[in-house]
A and B are shown apart, each in its own frame.
Chain A
Amino acid sequence: MSHDLSASTVRIAGHGGDEIEAYLAAPTDVQSFGGVVMIHHMPGYDDATRAMARNLADRGFAAIVPNLYSREAPGASSDDAAAIARARGGVPDDRLVGDVDGAASYLRALAGSNRKVGVIGHCSGGRQAFLAACSLQLDAAVDCYGAFVVGSPPPESGLTMTPVVDLAPSLSCPLLGLFGVEDKHPSPDDVDELDKALTASGKSHEFHSFDDAGHGFFAVDRPSYRVAAANEGWRHIFDFYGRHLAS
């Protein structure tokens, strides 16, 4: 493998058949490949997320990032679109699942696809990756420090997000969880609770929690970036997807 890839903007059918924007990065030097739907974080369909997709393509996986804010602000910059989406209440869970489903179908239809598709998300996308993997038939899921998979936000916070840990019995695929020990959302106790819920449901999962890392340690463009945890985290991701998505 020479790490050759191509990357471009595509249009896909999302939830309800809506046409939405997406970014596709795919290897060009392999005969067959698995796919990954990468869910962008709440700050949007940004440069850093698209770079992560290219990182996966560099390692032989086709990665697609659906723009979850396509409907609210078509053509807008990622930060403006995120602001608009926030002002309108964010992305409903059912729409998220529909968009991931559409992105997964797009990946399976690519020439060269081995029809195996995983999902990954960071921060809010971590919760959404878990939700998608419990709602759709997928082959591997990665939750990077997703908050409120477990536990409800405190009442005084005003947050309306609902926990999704009760969906654990419906998890359709192995789950890799990557967390920072210094994170508060999810806290080590939250991670432990999710671990126990998955074990109780007999679901295959592996969790890694990194010292000297808090929330957002993969984010190379933010002060939360922790190089050691991020490097080790990427190693786990490539290994996990290599076992579950490779041809």
Chain B
Amino acid sequence: MCTYLTEHVDIEGSGKFADGWAATRRATVYFDHPVHAMAEHSLNIDFFAVAGAGAAGTAAPGDAADAAVRRIAVELTPESARALATAIQRALDSAPAGLVAG
């Protein structure tokens, strides 16, 4: 089934898209049909570049100002996604004191 469930995450950072680096301010996370992975469902993450590749852009994905869709996409097995989430948390937790706020 198409799950339709989508987590929207406001993020701050940069990503390397097909045409180079750009700021990214929005990610979506969802468990649904993949395009490429050989599974009925997968944990999918999309990072969207802000309009115009500048660091200050604020356009939401698909806004008229964001006419050129620029996306980094991954499709992961549930096990891989959990391992990735754990690894991210562990990397942040193990950073030297004072380098990670919050």
**Count of chain A to chain B residue pairs whose CB atoms are closer than 8 Å in the complex:** 80
A216 touches B5 (CB 8 A): no
B98 to chain A, nearest CB (A): 35
A159 to B2, CA, bound (A): 11
* Given A42-B33, A87-B26, A123 contacting B38 (CB threshold 8 A): no
B46 touches A123 (CB 8 A): no
A218 to chain B, nearest CB (A): 13
B9 to chain A, nearest CB (A): 11
Contact digits for B19-56, partner A, Cβ 8 Å, 1 yes 0 no: 00000001010101101001110000010100000000
Asked whether any CB of chain B lies closer than 8 Å to the CB of A158, the reply is yes
B2, B4, B35, B48: residue with the most chain A Cβ atoms closer than 10 Å: B2
Interface size on A, residues (CB 8 A): 37
B6 touches A42 (CB 8 A): no
Asked whether any CB of chain B lies closer than 8 Å to the CB of A202, the reply is no
Interface residues on B, range: 20 to 34
Within residues 47 to 73 of chain A, which ones have a CB less than 8 A from any CB in chain B? 72-73
A42 to B19, CA, bound (A): 27
A41 to B40, CA, bound (A): 14
* Given A83-B46, A84-B62, A158 contacting B38 (CB threshold 8 A): no
B2 touches A123 (CB 8 A): yes
Asked whether any CB of chain B lies closer than 8 Å to the CB of A115, the reply is no
List 13 additional contacts besides A86-B28, A147-B1; criterion CB under 8 Å. A43-B33, A73-B62, A79-B35, A83-B48, A84-B71, A88-B60, A124-B2, A157-B5, A159-B3, A159-B5, A184-B1, A214-B40, A223-B38
Q: Please list 21 pairs of residues, one from A and one from B, whose beta carbons are closer than 8 Å in the complex, sorted by A's number.
A: A42-B2, A42-B4, A73-B69, A83-B46, A83-B71, A83-B73, A84-B61, A84-B62, A87-B6, A87-B46, A87-B48, A88-B61, A123-B1, A123-B33, A147-B1, A157-B5, A184-B1, A215-B1, A216-B33, A223-B40, A224-B40
- 7 tightest A-B contacts by CB? A185-B1, A42-B2, A84-B62, A76-B69, A87-B61, A80-B69, A72-B62
Which residues on B are within 8 Å of A, measured CB to CB? 1-6, 8, 26, 28, 30, 32-33, 35, 38-40, 46, 48, 60-62, 67, 69, 71, 73
Which residues on A are within 8 Å of B, measured CB to CB? 41-43, 46, 72-74, 76-77, 79-88, 90, 123-124, 147, 157-161, 183-185, 214-216, 222-224
